[in-house]
Amino acid sequence: MKNNTLISVVGPTAIGKTSTGIALANHYQTEIISADSRQFYKEMKIGTAVPSTEELFAAKHHFIQHISVKDDYSVGDFETEAIHKLDELFHHKNKALMVGGSGLYVKAVLKGLDKFPEVDASIRENLNLQLENEGIEPLQFQLKKLDPVYAQKVDLENSHRVIRALEICIASRKPFSSFLNNSSSERNFTPIKIGLTAPRELIYDRIEKRVDLMIANGLLDEAKKVYPMRKLNALNTVGYKELFQYFDDNWTLDFAVSEIKKNTRRFAKRQLTWFRKDEEINWFSYDTPIEKIVNFIDSKISPR
């Protein structure tokens, strides 16, 4: 079983994971599991930089635009479905690719999820009601009080993450962070982790150009279509939430676009921070010839 190899390609947004993943999938004649949680949704194509029609044709991808923003879909659901799909792939191939920058989703597939206690639904309902009535600040303050360790790590602007941590703290009377890193799921593959990186200034420049291209390609119209559903958690996403502020006449369009760029830069920084903590990731410059990465992977699969 361990003869199966899952090649995981990670890195910050706009670094070139898609093209590298396709090149590796073609070399090894296999398929790609997408681990970009923003690209799961059918309604969010332009703003999440979904691979183009040509790219999707070049290599078979799974978990791209397979659900709706209206669907209740968790990282646990993704773990279950991705492992099932990998089991199918490994019946016919001994290598598969996983490509994406959503660190928790990558971790879920490679190692399994942390085990949390059951939470009474009323706790989440009350927290969501508090969010709606009072905004996120009181919830941020409460999390800092109940779990200062996790409050230092989490994106405190992500209401979904804040509420998830708080409900565990309240239900268990223990810090959310005390339940982290306690998973050890058996897997029928050996992972090889490839990270793509570049100087920060270059990453930021690529982000700026990508956002400009998204606007040129119709992100404004795409955001208008999902605007009526803006309270859904899936749409609390960089590229959409800023344009919703523009639609609400709170911001100018130029300012909204500048905020998309700023928040995407912050997102890339958080991605790098997450992945840099994983000592098993083998880092390559974004412009490394694919042959060099292939040679490295082959040396790990069949050490000389």
Q: Which DSSP helix (H) or strand (E) runs through 97? A: strand 95-99
Q: Which CATH number fits domain 121-179: 3.40.50.1220, 1.10.20.140, 1.10.1330.10, 3.20.20.140?
A: 1.10.20.140
Of 297, 82, 95, 295, the C-alpha closest to 189 is: 95
**pLDDT value of residue 304:** 46
SS3 5: strand
* 11 labeled binding residue: yes
Question: What number of other Cβ atoms are within 10 A of residue 107's Cβ?
Answer: 20
User: Positive or negative, the Cα torsion across 284, 288, 290, 296?
Assistant: negative
Residue 82 has pLDDT above 60, yes or no: yes
Domain ranges of the chain: 5-113+183-301, 121-179
* 18 labeled binding residue: yes
CB 5, CB 189: distance < 8 Å: yes
* 112 labeled binding residue: no
SS3 labels along 32-52 = EEECCHHHHECCCCCCCCCCC
Cα gap 217→238, rounded to integer Å:
17
| pLDDT class of 303 with cuts at 50, 70, 90 | low
CB 4, CB 94: distance < 8 Å: yes
Average pLDDT over residues 223-229: 98
For 147-164, what is each residue's pLDDT tens digit? Answer: 999 999 888 888 888 999
For 38-80, what is each residue's pLDDT tens digit? Answer: 999 999 999 999 999 999 999 999 999 999 999 989 898 999 9
* 117 labeled binding residue: no
pTM of the model: 0.84
* 16 labeled binding residue: yes
* 46 labeled binding residue: no
CB 188, CB 4: distance < 8 Å: yes
* 237 labeled binding residue: no
Cα gap 53→195, rounded to integer Å:
25
CATH superfamily of 5-113+183-301: P-loop containing nucleotide triphosphate hydrolases (3.40.50.300)
Structure-token pair, residue 49: 């930089």
**pLDDT value of residue 183:** 60
